[in-house]
Every structure is written in C-alpha cells, then in structure tokens.
Amino acid sequence: MPRDTIATFNVERLAILDEYGKADEALLPPLGDAEIRRLHEFLVLSRAFDRRALSLQREGRIGTYPSILGQEAAQVGSAFVLSGDEWIFPSFRETGMFIALGYPLHLLFQYWAGDERGQRGPDNLNIFPVCVSVGAHVPHAVGAAMGARVRGDKRPVVCYFGDGATSKGDFHEGFNLAGAYRLPVVFICQNNQWAISVPVNRQTAALTLAQKALAYGFPGVQVDGNDVFAVYCAVKEALARAASGDGPTFVECFTYRMSDHTTADDAARYRPTDEVELWRGRDPILRLERFMAGRGMLDEAYSREVSARALNAVDEAVRQAESSPPPQPAEILENVSAALTPRQKRQLEELSK
C-alpha cells in the first residue's frame, strides 16, 4: 500500500496597502474618493473615541475599557462592507465596528461607564450585545444563521472575535457546526497577537489562525489587518460567498494590540517595547493617509478638518452620555425575565424604596 498525499491545502495572505501608503493597484477595491474619505473619517473617529475613552477612564468617568488602538482598520474596514442589515455578533474590543455601522457613540460611552442601557442598540441594527466571555458567541452566530435558514432569510451573519478565542472549545464547536451545515457566516478574527499576556504562539502551534478553517471544511484567509483595503476586500469576498450559498469563510486580520489589554492591564510587564515600536510604524491610519495624500485627497488642512469633526462628535457623545438620567435601581430586575415572580416583585419594591 503506497503512502499517498490525499489532501493539500493552501492558505492565502492578502495585502494591498503597505505601510508607506503604496497600494497594489491591481488589487485595490473599486472604492470612489468619497467612500475612501468615509473610511478615513471612521478610522479617525474610532481613534478619537478610543483616546477619549482612555482619558475618561483615568479621570474615573468610565470603568475598565479595552482599547482598540492599532486595530481600527480591521474593525472599520470589515464593517464598511456591511449594510447594517446583517446579524452581527461582536466580542468586547470592537468599538471601530460599532462606529462604522452607525451605533450611537453616546451609547458606547454609556456602556463602558457601567450603564447597561448602552447595550440596547437601535432597532435597525442587529448587533448583539458585547460578548465578554471569550469566544462563547461563536455558536450564537452559527445558531442565528441556522435560524435565518429556517425562515428563508438569506442575510449573512458576521462574527467578530480575537486570537484568544481560537483556543476555546466554543470556537471549535461553532466552526464545526458552521462547516457541517454550510452556513452563511463570516468569521472575522482580529489576531492582535496578544490575549492579555499570552502571545499567539502560545495559543497555538499553527502557523496561521486562518488555516484552522480548513479543518472544518471551509476557506480561511489571512489579511494584513492594518491594511483597510485588504480587510475590506477579504470581507467583501467572504460576504459574497455567504450570499451565494457557498458557506462560511474565516478572515484572519493580522494586526497588533498597541495598547494594554484593558485600562486595568499593564502590557509593559510582559511584552517588549521594541515590538510595540515596530508596529507603530505599521499604523493603519497613517498608511491610509499617506495613500490619500499621494492621490491629492488629503493635506494638512483636510486632516485638521477631519480630526475636528471627530473630536466634536466625541465631545457631543460624552456630553449626551453624561447628561442622560441615571439608571434606576428597579432596572436591576426589570429585564431578568418577561414577567417577574412574586418574589422578584417584592425585591423590586425593596429596590425601589
């Protein structure tokens, strides 16, 4: 009996825009100047939000907050493809995705300030609340796709998570189910290379995370996650596959968490500063700005204008979040179940005193 190779697999990597702002013209997505400007605005707004959130946390005005610094392109570039009609299942580090889909900024501030009303999104968006337990929402996304299929609803489902989630059992169970049922789910992983203090090479011996999809019978692709065009193209292809009935796709956005895990963490304890410096040069916004400048779409005045707009929006959102009436103690019980038990009603009376 011979030894035969019965299967071989390829893992592609897609990169379009390099850190100097130079693009592979043949691979550039067909985005007009106006769309590129919108992408840029979302990136700048996401960073402005993030910076403000960090300073609000230091001032004690919001609670623990996970920064998205460095991951804006992966979040905005992917969300920019979406129509807002999809079902979306986010992890906890997705502020850029929320912003690009038009989730009200003040609700995001409200949530991170410990007011759960911020998790009740607008009814026109099917964005699931932030999933704090890592990777547990992967099966939720798969189940939503199963539900959509029963109803004959062709809308794809999008699921966001990080590199740490790929070590979890629910990642496996969800991916396995999605592959077995050929469900229209786009899995987007931001491999920011650090799950708090554990580097990705301690999460897995696999060379890429993208290749994990192959074992479940569907394609995985790695993209330069700091390249907003590459992210955009890969997610667009994945959505098209989902829409045409070709099943799930896994998009690994190779990026870097420039900040601490959260405001409660100190990354200097466990990772080398030269690594952070290396990635500073690969900044996702800087490279898009270089690209735009090269095309005559961006100069200093325009840059200032975009920044000012972003700061205004952030200021206004903070004002709105902080001036909203405080949540009432009764809310602790109000949404536990559709109806309160007699015991809960007594507890509600106690809380409302």
Closer CB to another protein, 26 or 338, in the complex: 338
Q: How far is the CB of 83 from another protein (least distance, A)?
A: 17
- Interhelix angle 33-58/228-243, nearest 10 degrees: 110
119 binds another protein (CB under 8 A): yes
User: What phi and psi values does residue 250 have, to the nearest 5 degrees?
Assistant: -115, 120
Active site residue 269: no
Contacts with 301 (C-beta within 8 Å, 6 or more apart), sequence order: none
Q: Determine contact, residues 225/254, Cβ cutoff 8 Å.
A: yes
Q: How far is the CB of 256 from another protein (least distance, A)?
A: 29
Active site residue 309: no
152 three-state secondary structure: coil
Q: Which two tokens stand for residue 315?
A: 């200021």
**Residue window 5-34: x/- pattern of binding to another protein, with contact defined by CB under 8 A:** ------------------------------
**CA–CA distances in Å: residue 24 to residues 14, 16, 52, 80:** 11, 5, 34, 20
CA distance 314 to 319: 9
- Beta-strand runs (E) in the chain: 12-14, 87-89, 126-127, 157-162, 185-191, 194-195, 198-199, 220-224, 249-254
123 binds another protein (CB under 8 A): yes
Instruction: Give residue for tokens 């985005």.
Output: 31
* Options 37, 143, 262, 293; binder of another protein; rule CB under 8 A: 143
Q: Determine contact, residues 194/255, Cβ cutoff 8 Å.
A: no
Which of 270, 280, 295, 346 is catalytic? The answer is 270
Residue among 251, 176, 159, 177 at smallest CA distance from 210: 251
343 binds another protein (CB under 8 A): yes
151 binds another protein (CB under 8 A): yes
Handedness of CA 228, 100, 161, 283 (dihedral sign): positive
Q: How far is the CB of 142 from another protein (least distance, A)?
A: 5
Active site residue 287: no
Q: How far is the CB of 329 from another protein (least distance, A)?
A: 14
* Options 12, 55, 58, 180; binder of another protein; rule CB under 8 A: 180
* Options 10, 83, 323, 337; binder of another protein; rule CB under 8 A: 337
* Options 36, 79, 81, 177; binder of another protein; rule CB under 8 A: 177
325 binds another protein (CB under 8 A): no
Closer CB to another protein, 207 or 332, in the complex: 332
Among the listed ranges 69-77, 95-103, 131-139, 254-262, the one in contact with another protein (CB under 8 A) is 131-139
330 binds another protein (CB under 8 A): no
Chain residues in the site for another protein (CB under 8 A): 87, 89, 116-117, 119-121, 123, 128-129, 131, 133, 136-151, 169-170, 172-174, 176-177, 180, 331, 334-338, 341-344
